[in-house]
A and B are shown apart, each in its own frame.
Chain A
């Protein structure tokens, strides 16, 4: 196995395109576990943390660009980013322990393509896009279009994610992410739910995005859930309708961490609770 430390995106793309057996290393919190378990045997490890532009969080046209090598701890320490997108930052702050958060990245969480990845529903609810660099140049792709199955992504040969973009946050908007795990820390989501809402000047919901995690092979961005909220004031009846829609949208599997019936129920409960938090944030109550 070789170890490469490109210092530019072009170098990383060239290395990746030249060697189909190469693997990218961001924080390594998924990659190293798989490497040590013998699940993967890459020819080359390409460490992206020496690419300066990928290690920074920057403001861009009122939104935010988060480099693919930025660890979640750094996002959590960024007061302005957290003020704009608390749900996204909190979702990244749920990944593993302090030690894991010192290394784990949003892009790694996304490209690992686990159905239970915590930051993914939060990013999808926020309308995040991933910037992808490859042999043919760069393109921007909605986060929900990156994972295509368990452990699979839509990235082509020689392509990598260079950053995640969070759009400018409109006035009277808020986001939230909640997950259910049997403990309070250090566990894999049984269900996760990210919600984003915008209110009009009458306090009615004018825009909503609802994303469910861990209840299908890939994240679900649910229009039927969003429709239960749009046009309402986020009252109890609307939240009950949201919960019912979320339970209906969830297509989970039975496993040791939860049955289908349990996961569907929890999807509804979490959607309702996350919506309350997002609404409070949009109203400026929290």
Chain B
């Protein structure tokens, strides 16, 4: 089977890879590109642990074929902090202890960042609905929601 050659942009860097037609973007990120921040919790679109942003839209990378990425702009958890400089959301997640095992955390951070870029002042209800596709078996969600609300308030203050 001949592989498909894809040129795409990941976290601002032009990236090339070869993939099979049936490989997902998540497979390629984790297994070919060594970007293991995106997690596979279910592989069926239910848990959100694989969340990435493609051309500005939040999607599950487990439900997107790697071959679809040609010419797109992809953002993953690896692009969130700048070196040692954490993104404000990452910092707040630490302060609020909004994670335990951490499997859901990359997906939730990617999803929350996308929300705050679209809506800097979300209500708690809006945050909860936006993150409804990100499952967490540990925290009970409350600390996650508080961390996102607190980040939003801080970022509005700083802006």
**Which A positions have Cβ atoms within 8 angstroms of B?**
1-3, 5, 25, 27-29, 32-33, 35-37, 45, 47, 49, 71, 73, 96-100, 102-103, 184-186
Contacts and interface: CB of A to CB of B under 8 A. Distances in A.
Interface in B102-145: 111, 115, 129-134
B4 A3 contact: yes
A94 B79 CA distance: 30
A99 B44 CA distance: 12
B47 to A, nearest CB: 10
Given A32-B65, A47-B68, A102 B129 contact: no
B65 A99 contact: no
A1 to B, nearest CB: 4
Contacts of B133: 96-100, 185-186
Nearest to B133: A97
Contact of B59 (A5, A49, A103): A103
A184 B46 CA distance: 14
A32 B24 CA distance: 9
Contacts of B45: 29, 32-33, 96-97, 99-100
8 contacts: A32-B65, A36-B43, A49-B68, A73-B57, A98-B130, A98-B131, A99-B58, A99-B133
A1 B2 CA distance: 9
A5 B70 contact: yes
B67 interface: yes
Contacts, number: 87
A102 B50 CA distance: 14
Instruction: Give the interface centre of A1, A27, A99 by most chain B CB atoms within 10 Å.
Output: A99
Contacts of A29: 45, 63
Interface in B40-90: 43-46, 48, 51, 54, 57-60, 62-65, 67-68, 70
Contacts of A37: 44
B132 A97 contact: yes
A103 B130 contact: no
Given A1-B22, A98-B131, 5 more contacts: A5-B70, A28-B65, A32-B45, A33-B63, A96-B133
A2 B132 contact: no
B21 interface: yes
A99 B43 contact: no
B21 A99 contact: no
B44 A33 contact: yes
A186 B115 CA distance: 18
With most chain A CB atoms within 10 A of its CB, the pick from B65, B115, B130 is B65
A74 B53 CA distance: 15
Given A32-B65, A33-B45, A185 B132 contact: yes
Contact of B60 (A1, A25, A49, A99): A99
Contact of A45 (B21, B60, B115): B21
Nearest to A100: B45
B111 to A, nearest CB: 7
A274 B10 CA distance: 44
Nearest to B129: A185
A5 B67 CA distance: 10
A5 B71 CA distance: 12
B44 A98 contact: no
Nearest to B63: A32
Instruction: Please indicate which of the listed interface residues A2, A3, A29 has the most CB atoms of chain B within 10 Å of its own CB.
Output: A3
A144 B54 CA distance: 33
Contacts of A98: 58, 111, 115, 129-133
